[in-house]
Amino acid sequence: MKHIFKILRPQLLFLALLTLAANASAKLNVVVTTADLASIAAEVGGDAIAVTTLAKPTEDPHFVDARPSFIVKLNHADVVIEGGAELEIGWLPALLDQSRNDKLVTGAPGHVNCSQGVPLLDVPATLDRARGDVHAAGNPHYIIAPSNAKIVAQNIAASLAIVDPPHAALYTANAEKFRAALDAKLIEWQKTLAPFKGRSLVAYHDSWPYFAREFGLTIDLFLEPKPGIPPTPAHLAEVIMKMKTENASVIIVDPYLNRRTAETVARTTGATVLDVTQFPGGLKGTEGGYLALLDHLVNSLATALAEKK
Ligand SMILES: [Zn+2]
């Protein structure tokens, strides 16, 4: 008997190690473009997936610094998740080409375009990128609206279920859980912003139409003359005039934009500059994920708007 144990023990240990290795590699390797998608993917995938994010949360999602390591990450991925609507068109397609990963080609279940089924705003009648407009296919900043985050979770769950059928039920259940958590929080967020319905804000970049619509705010003055085109003195003079007529007294700026331009406009008009982000980890206090991000955004907007009547 003792003899058998002596033989079996190393074999059992080996088997145990094998199982551990199998479990570790059994996690679906998911690469996402931005931190908001990383948070939603983690909610949906739970322990069944490992998430790698390409863009830093403080980076402009239109102009991500494409490092060679991204190609390696994409080459090893089972799934890539992008926002789509041309948000990542300036950097992702070239990386995907170079990664030579058949699982991630457009149309494959391993390539998730989260904008599917999202009613996009500002879709122009004709495509025109000639003047450097980075929103040529419609406004791609839709995830910051909770109603769209629910569609994103749904899209991710549906694709993961196809790529990884044994965990299909888990992905569906997790997406449903995320949806319920969002619905509960949405009531709270609506209540916090209700006193400011109809108020006008200025944004540096036109990335807030979905959020504005969801919460009854007006965000239609921008320091950029066109999305992706730097502010000019003539355009800023026009914005300053309109700020007076619209009584807009808060300018929101993302971490990767030129805060000093916003400060100059604020000095001229008596407005406040408010730092905002659409990405978990983009500002201190938003690291907890999508829900923490919305908490931070809604509360800091409410505070700034209450101070500036
Ligand atoms: Zn944009």
Q: What is the distance in A from the centroid of ligand 1 to the CA of 74?
A: 24
Block mean pLDDT (10 aa), the chain, length 309: 51 51 72 98 98 98 96 98 97 98 97 98 79 87 98 98 98 98 98 98 98 98 95 98 97 98 98 98 98 98 94
Query: What is the structure's pLDDT at 287?
Result: 98
Instruction: Burial-class residue 176 by CB neighbours within 10 Å (0-12, 13-18, 19+).
Output: middle
Q: What is the distance in A from the centroid of ligand 1 to the CA of 73?
A: 25
Bridge partners, residue 253, by sequence: 275
Q: What is the distance in A from the centroid of ligand 1 to the CA of 206?
A: 6
Q: What is the distance in A from the centroid of ligand 1 to the CA of 35?
A: 16
For residue 58, the one-letter residue type is T
Query: What is the structure's pLDDT at 293?
Result: 98
Distance (Å, rounded) from C-alpha 66 to C-alpha 55?
A: 8
Q: What is the distance in A from the centroid of ligand 1 to the CA of 162?
A: 31
Q: What is the distance in A from the centroid of ligand 1 to the CA of 87?
A: 7
Question: How many helices and strands in the chain, by DSSP H and E?
Answer: 10, 8
Q: Is the Cα dihedral 247, 249, 255, 259 positive or negative? A: positive
Q: What is the distance in A from the centroid of ligand 1 to the CA of 133?
A: 9
* 225: nearest Cα among 245, 239, 240, 209: 239
Q: What is the distance in A from the centroid of ligand 1 to the CA of 261?
A: 18
Q: Is the Cα dihedral 171, 172, 176, 177 positive or negative? A: negative
Query: What is the structure's pLDDT at 22?
Result: 47
Q: What is the distance in A from the centroid of ligand 1 to the CA of 11?
A: 57
127 close to 112: Cβ distance less than 8 angstroms: no
Q: What is the distance in A from the centroid of ligand 1 to the CA of 20?
A: 43
Q: What is the distance in A from the centroid of ligand 1 to the CA of 123?
A: 13
Query: What is the structure's pLDDT at 1?
Result: 46
Count of C-beta atoms within a 10 Å radius of residue 216: 13
Q: What is the distance in A from the centroid of ligand 1 to the CA of 195?
A: 28
Distance (Å, rounded) from C-alpha 60 to C-alpha 262?
A: 17
